Amino acid sequence: MERKRILLIGTGGTIASEMGDNGLKPELTSSQLLKYVPDISGICAVDCLQLFSLDSTNIRPEHWLRIAKAIQECYGQYDGFVVSHGTDTMAYTAAGLSYLVQNSQKPIVLTGAQKPIGYETTDSKQNLRDAFTVAASDMSGVLLVFNGKVIMGTRARKTRSKSFEAFSSINYPIIGMVQDGRVIQYIRPKNCLPTRFYEALDPKVSLLKLAPGIDCGAAEYFLGRSSALIIESFGVGGLPVYETGSFYEAIKRGLDAGKTVVLTTQVENEGSDLSVYHVGNSIKQNLPILEAYDMTTEAVIAKLMWILGQTTERVQVAELFYTPIAWDILSLF
C-alpha cells in the first residue's frame, strides 16, 4: 500500500520553542521539528509548511483563517494534516478550524507540547508521532491529539497548565487513543456531507465571566464594542439582579441594537439549563438570548465568529447556533 502523504503546518508554540533572554520563544520551523523525530518517515511521507512562529497567546482568529486557507489550498494533494501549535489557545484554534473546515473526510490534527522538543524530558516527540499516526489513519475531521488522547476539535479544553495530560474532552467522550503506534478508535462519528471551507469570521465576540457582585456596566461596555457577548454565569445559568441595577437592562439594550447574547456556565462539565431557576428562566422567557447548553465556551466563541461572518439576521443566527456542527452540541433541553 502506498504511504500516506501528510502536510505538517508549523505555527509555533512550546513544542518549537527555545530558551531566550526572557523565557521560551518559538524558534524552530516545522522541518526542524521533524528532524527530532526521524522515525515519523516510517508512518507516512511528510511535507512541511511554516505559516508563522507564534506563542499561541498571540494567535487570533485571522490566524485560524490562514491555517484553514493553507489546508484548503493543499487539500487535494494530501491525505491528512498535522498542525503544530501552542497549547494555550490550541482548543480555540481547534474549534475555529472545526467551523472553517466542515465535514472534512481527511484528518486535520492539532498537537503541541508542554515541554520544548529540544529538552531531555519532553512530550513533544511522542505527541508528534501520535499526531502523524492519526493523520495517516482513516479518522476524519478536526481532531486534537495530546498525551495519547484523540479529542474532537469542538470538545477540547486545556485543563492542566503544566503536566503532560494537558487536555480534556468536555461533555463528550474521547474519540480514541493512540497506543504503541496504533489508533484505537472508540467512536466513529458518521460524516457523509461534502467537505466545505469557509473564509469569513467576525472576530468581535466578547466573553464576560461573572463574579459575585460584578458590575453590570461590564456587559454594557462589551456590548458597545462587540457583535456578540457570551456571559459565563454560575451553575446551570442565571443573571444577578442587584438593588442598584440589573444585567437584564444592559442585555436588552444590546439586543435592541442587534447584538447577539449567549448565556453559558463557568462550570466545566454538564452545561447550562436556564429553565431551572427563576434567575435564568426569567431572562430566557423574556429576551431573545441564546443558550450554550453542553457546548464548550471555546466552541461557542468560534461558532459565533463563524456565524456572524455569514449573517447577523437574528433568526438565522439562532438557527445556525443550535445546528450541531462537528458534534459541538448534543443536548438541546
Catalytic residues: 14
Minimum distance from residue 161 beta carbon to ligand ASP (Å): 9
Minimum distance from residue 88 beta carbon to ligand ASP (Å): 3
Please, are residues 216 and 246 in contact by the beta-carbon 8 Å criterion? yes
Is 112 an interacting residue with respect to ligand ASP (CB under 6 A)? Answer: yes
Task: Please name the amino acid found at residue 10.
Answer: G
Q: Which residue of 13, 61, 107, 176 would you call a contact of ligand ASP, by CB under 6 A? A: 13
Q: Which residue of 4, 6, 14, 148 would you call a contact of ligand ASP, by CB under 6 A? A: 14
Helix, strand, coil share (%) of the chain residues, nearest 5: 30, 25, 40
Is 163 an interacting residue with respect to ligand ASP (CB under 6 A)? Answer: no
Minimum distance from residue 53 beta carbon to ligand ASP (Å): 10
Please, are residues 144 and 187 in contact by the beta-carbon 8 Å criterion? no
Give the nearer residue to ligand ASP in terms of CB position, either 26 or 271. Answer: 26
Q: Which one of the spans 86-94, 118-126, 247-255, 276-284 is the region binding ligand ASP (CB under 6 A)? A: 86-94
Q: Grid coordinates standing for 247?
A: 444585567
Query: What b/e readout covers 6-21, taking b as 16+ CB neighbours within 10 angstroms?
Result: bbbbbbbbbbbbeeee
Please, are residues 210 and 231 in contact by the beta-carbon 8 Å criterion? yes
Distance of CA 151 to the CA centre of its chain: 11
Minimum distance from residue 112 beta carbon to ligand ASP (Å): 5
Q: Which one of the spans 49-57, 174-182, 221-229, 289-297 is the region binding ligand ASP (CB under 6 A)? A: 49-57
Give the closest residue to 154 by CA, choosing from 208, 100, 201. Answer: 100
Q: Which one of the spans 28-36, 81-89, 121-129, 253-261 is the region binding ligand ASP (CB under 6 A)? A: 81-89
Give the nearer residue to ligand ASP in terms of CB position, either 77 or 121. Answer: 121
Is 55 an interacting residue with respect to ligand ASP (CB under 6 A)? Answer: yes
Please, are residues 77 and 98 in contact by the beta-carbon 8 Å criterion? no
